[in-house]
Amino acid sequence: MNKLRPLMLLILVSAFVGCGPVKPWEKEQLSLEPMNVSDCPIHRFERNVEVYREGAVGGNGGKSGGGCGCS
């Protein structure tokens, strides 16, 4: 986890420093469909394939393993 520390620090700093709250009426472009922070519903199928065919998992908002016979 030591390798991740500089990256985590960078993320936290960029999240909280220098960006004031955006007001609801300023969020028009944030509400565009591709701006959704979640994957589109059918992306799940490709994510499943990546879990089966690659050694790496996670990063999909919660589920990172189990529920299938893949190792």
Partner 1 sequence: MFLKTAIPFLLLSSCLLAQEEQGRLELDFLGSYYDQSGEHSPVNGGNGSEELTSASPVIAVRFTNRNDWKFSANLGFDSITSASIDSMDENAGPGHNVSGASGQDTRAFLALSAEKRFGNQTWGTNLGFSNEYDYHSLYAGFNWALDFNERNTTLGLALTHYSDTVDQYDINGVNQGEEDRTTTDLSVTLSQVLGRRTVMTAELFASDQSGFLSSPFQEVILSDGTHVAEKLPDARLRTGLRLSLNQAWSAAFVTRFYYRYYTDDIGIDAHSLEIEPHFRLPTGRKTWLYPILRYHTQTGSDHYGLPNSFNPADPFYTADRDLSEFTSTKLGLGLNMGLSGGHLRSLNVRLSHYERDEGLSAFTLSFGFGWSFL
Binding site for partner 1 (CB under 8 A): 1, 3-4, 7-8, 11-12, 14-16, 19, 21-24, 26-30, 32-37, 40-46, 48-50, 52-71
Min separation Cβ 53 and partner 1, Å: 6
CB of 30 to partner 1, least distance (A): 6
CA distance 56 to 14: 27
- Provide, rounded to whole angstroms, the least separation between the CB of residue 56 and partner 1: 4
Q: Is the dihedral of CA 49, 65, 44, 60 positive or negative?
A: negative
CA distances from 26 to 17, 33, 37 (A): 19, 16, 18
